Amino acid sequence: MRRPCSDARRQTPSGEARNPPVKARRLLSLRGLAVLVAVVGLCCQRGAARADIDISLRDLAIVRINVIDLLANEPRLPLPIKQRREALQAYYQEFGGNLLWLGTPRASALVARLQAAESDSLDPNDYPSKQLAELNTLSAKTDKRGLAIVELYFSAAFLEYASDLKVGRFLPNKVDPNFFLKGRSIDQLTALKSLAQAASLDQFFAGWQPSHPIYAALRAALAHYRALAAQGGWGNLPLGPTVHPGESDPRVPAIRARLALTDAAVARVPPREPTAYDDALVEAVKRFQARQGLAVDGVVGGSTIVAMNVPVGERIKSIIATMERVRWMPEDLGRQFMIVNIAAFELRRFDAGAVKERMAVVVGKPYHRTPVFSDRIRYVEINPYWNVPPGIAIKEELPKLRSNPGAVASQGFEAVQGNRVLALQSVDWSRYGAGNFPFQLRQRPGANNALGRVKLMFPNPHNVYLHDTPARSLFSRTERAFSHGCIRLARPLELAEQVLQAGGVEGWDSSRINNVVSSAKTTVVNLREPLPVHITYLTAWVDGAVTNFRGDVYGHDAKLLAALDGKAIAW
């Protein structure tokens, strides 16, 4: 669902936002603006068109009076202005703000910015740049009432673009029910006041866009990939026999040319033999494989060729989807924080903007998806019990309990009913099922415990957290979507030590943690300062000026891109 146009979100009785989808909303807005252009045009006297409306200080004062009167007394304002009336009144009347567009170069700058909205991964067709440009060429002798409407319409268009740029075009959970990020809106009065104080429109937007470096790097990557697309992108490499280092293959020149488009180092090393798969090209292939999340072996097999053949247009779509999701994230991620990127099967820990840790993780299966949300790690539990979620207990464990409760008990499981701990063999499990399961099934700490030796807890309604696992072999795989939704860690004890230190807990080094693990005693350590953790889904990002891509393992990109195109897609 398209983000509501005003900060105060208008809801229907069912809770849905009133705004129509992107394209329908744009058509409504443009029709209203087309009428406005015609009406204001009737107020014009003959005269030369100008790049920006030139107007005297006296006339500006008169226009400003008309702006305030229109906002206070006109019931038939155009819809885009009416939707933002409260913020516009706060700026022009209560704050006493000066006109923002008439008599300034900002009007032409806004038209240019809207026309170039693609540079921010937004759609120029969503904004009325053509109509605003027409309004901007009207003579200064236009009726002052008409000019007041022009001023307000520019402000309304500015606020819409500022909102889309800052917090995204959609409410996250209206696009995808697996996104549980808190919807955000901009402070429209702050936006208007900040624009009035900025040296230029571009300076305002440079400071207004999402502040995390992830976003700025993606914006540059988008420009690069759009330039590649303008040059024709790349063609498809034919599939064929696997090419190993040291071999020759007639496709090698095409592979080299393909990699040179996205890896400048390739072009700097000319080959000795055109068809020889030499060491320099092997290293380039390895860099490419790493950027795609493939096995980094330097062997050009089917999966590597398929990744090379993904069209540049699809890469651009991945960047666009990721930039929209970055806008959904909290504005302040924290000085110290962690990001789990589901699509990359990776965790990163940041401190003051620098990456301090990178770790492979296992995430939920496509039918047990890890949800997207932000929270704070509040405590670390060593030698944890695994309290089996009711759904897993009934669907997966109950059939085993009915057939062989002793085998389940041998894995360390027990049942809890009230204050009693029951041996599994003492219960007639055939009497119980969905809707009638008065037990908490849990697994005691130990070598077989599904949570391993430690879990990092941020209590949440999704019952998702970070933890160890005895299934260590899964971390050797490139795609790691195997859990029931929780996030399994490749090096959990190392991360536990880092989290305790980041959380202001003293005295918990690796030696102490290992001693507690060896004791098999369940121990909870509370963080003095909860550590932000952001569970995300980013299929594109930039490392060291190089763009990385991952597959759309959950199909989230497909849903978002369909929504941006005004289409619906089944969940």
Same structural domain, 66 and 120: yes
Higher per-residue pLDDT: 30 or 84? 84
Total domain count for the chain? 3
- Rounded distance, CA 191 to CA 87, Å? 10
% of the chain beyond a pLDDT of 90: 80
Confidence at 11, pLDDT banded by 50, 70, 90? very low
Residue 439 and residue 374 share a domain: no
Q: Is the pLDDT of residue 50 over 80?
A: no
Q: What pLDDT digit, counting tens, does each position of 299-328 carry? A: 999 999 999 999 999 999 999 999 999 999
Average pLDDT for 279-300: 96
DSSP, res 241: S
- 140, 94: one domain: yes
**In this structure, are 440 and 459 located in the same domain?**
no
554 in any annotated domain: no
Residue 223 forms part of a structural domain = no
Residue at 313 is within a domain: no
Specify whether 522 is located in the same domain as 393: no
Percent of the chain having pLDDT more than 70?
A: 89
Residue at a domain's end among 397, 421, 444:
444
- Same-domain status, 27 and 99: yes
| pLDDT of the residue at 265 | 87
The answer to whether 368 is a known catalytic residue is: no
Residues 369, 415: one domain? no
In a domain, 282, yes or no: no
**C-alpha angle with apex 156: 153 to 162, nearest 5 degrees?**
140
Is the predicted pLDDT of residue 500 greater than 60, yes or no?
yes
Cα dihedral 217, 220, 221, 226 in deg (nearest 10):
160
The whole-angstrom separation of Cα 415 and Cα 394 is 13
Q: Are residues 459 and 514 in the same domain?
A: yes
pLDDT at 1: 55
Q: Is residue 55 part of a domain?
A: yes
Residues 213-217 have a mean pLDDT of 92
pLDDT of residue 298: 97
Q: What is the pLDDT of residues 73-125, one digit of tens each?
A: 999 999 999 999 999 999 999 999 999 999 899 999 999 999 999 999 999 99
- Tens of pLDDT, residue by residue over 369-394, are 999 999 999 999 999 999 999 989 99
Q: Give residue-wise pLDDT tens across range 124-147.
A: 999 999 999 988 887 555 788 999
Which of the residues 484, 486, 534, 556 is marked catalytic? Answer: 486
* pLDDT at residue 52, as a whole number: 59
> Does residue 61 share a domain with residue 47?
yes
Q: Which of 9-13, 329-333, 375-379, 446-450 has the lowest mean pLDDT?
A: 9-13
Among 5, 212, 467, 484, the one annotated catalytic: 467
pLDDT on residue 42: 41
462 is catalytic: no
| CATH number for 495 | 2.40.440.10
What average pLDDT is seen over the chain? 89
Which residue among 193, 209, 225 closes a domain? 209
Average pLDDT of 203-226?
94
Distance CA 94, CA 148 (A): 17
Based on the fold, state whether residues 204 and 353 are members of the same structural domain: no
Q: What is the pTM of this model?
A: 0.88
For 83, the domain range is 22-209
Residues 464 and 419 in one domain: no
pLDDT at 34 over 60: no
Measured distance CA(306)–CA(236) in Å, rounded: 9
* pLDDT exceeds cutoff 80 at 485: yes
Residues 546 and 385: their CA atoms lie apart, in Å, by: 42
pLDDT for position 411: 93
Q: Is residue 13 part of a domain?
A: no
Mean pLDDT of 139-167: 90
Query: Of 151, 185, 209, which residue is a domain's last?
Result: 209
Contact by Cβ (8 Å): 154, 53: no
Q: What does the pLDDT read at residue 510? A: 96
What is the pLDDT at residue 21? 45
Q: Do both 507 and 465 map to the same domain?
A: yes
Note whether residue 553 is domain-resident.
no
Structure-token pair, residue 264 = 């400048």
3-state SS, 418-487, equals CCEEECHHHCCHHHCECCECCCEEEECCCCCCCCCCEEEECCCCCCCCEECCCCHHHHHCCCCEEECCCE
Say if 367 falls within a structural domain.
yes
